[in-house]
Chains A and B, each alone.
Chain A
């Protein structure tokens, strides 16, 4: 190959291969040793480097990928929610519902009721309906009153 990649570009390219593998095998359990091998990293390095490149852990990425697929199935089909949960890789309906609600902000049933099927290529649906993380709750601004309360609470 004629090109010379910087170390970071080479890392990005290897992590992209691993992420593509996660996208393909989203319904299977997270297989860190295999993904790490694809990225030419040790299993212990993989999670940290993935987060450095893509800003989230492999586990969280896989959860969002699965939820995105579930959103598509809920929107495009009339399959029961339990089957959708299994199809996208969740072992229990409870975990699926919790994870879905945590990421999307409503239950799978509520989501289905609010969203109609859409006719655009599947890769765009996957890319554009991948749920974002909710922003972390921010602490209220500190005031003289709140600081006094904290002092009292702390004894």
Chain B
């Protein structure tokens, strides 16, 4: 039991190179809803989230004043190289999600693969950020480990 009183993950920043394009991708293709779209003058505060869930993504434009020009350039290069972190989403029908995204022309990095923990596949957002979408198998963590152990039993 910790005593720091943290109760939830609220917001996570995703580096994007164009906020309009990011907004279109995350709402049109992934079904996110807009939480905030506020012109703060110094920045556009743009957040989206999965309907019914509190956690939101801040679609944060790379190149704000917190970065000097050289650092911003490096971050943009890392995003476009696919070198930064990713998002992990849950679907209740991963095959339908995959088919819809594939048919919409979204970049697929891996077709759906059945794993002990579920069936998942990968996509990229328009800038190079990796997104994986999983439909959990429903197995408990111990059962997942048992499946790996059984497969690897030698």
A binding-site residues for B, Cβ under 8 Å: 1-3, 5-6, 8-10, 12-13, 15-17, 19-20, 23-24, 53-54, 75-78, 112, 116-119, 121-123
Contacts and interface: CB of A to CB of B under 8 A. Distances in A.
B148 A117 contact: yes
Contact of A6 (B76, B113, B141, B147): B76
Contact of B80 (A2, A13, A119): A13
A98 B132 CA distance: 33
Given A16-B124, A23-B110, A121 B81 contact: no
Contacts of A112: 154
Range of interface residues on B (Cβ < 8 Å): 35 or more
B120 to A, nearest CB: 7
Nearest to B142: A119
A117 B148 CA distance: 6
A3 B25 CA distance: 13
Given A16-B124, A19-B82, A119-B147, 11 more contacts: A2-B18, A6-B76, A13-B128, A16-B128, A24-B110, A53-B81, A76-B148, A77-B152, A117-B152, A123-B130, A123-B132
A119 B120 contact: no
B107 interface: yes
A3 to B, nearest CB: 3
Nearest to A54: B81
Nearest to B145: A119
Interface in B107-140: 107-111, 113, 115-117, 120, 122, 124, 126-128, 130, 132, 134
B80 A122 contact: no
Interface in B14-34: 17-18, 20-21
Interface of B: 17-18, 20-21, 73, 76-77, 80-82, 86, 88, 107-111, 113, 115-117, 120, 122, 124, 126-128, 130, 132, 134, 141, 144-145, 147-149, 151-154
7 contacts: A3-B127, A5-B80, A12-B77, A12-B128, A75-B152, A78-B152, A118-B148
A53 B152 CA distance: 37
Nearest to A23: B109
A76 B151 contact: yes
A75 B153 CA distance: 10
A116 B126 CA distance: 37
A16 B134 CA distance: 22
Nearest to B86: A123
Contacts of A19: 82
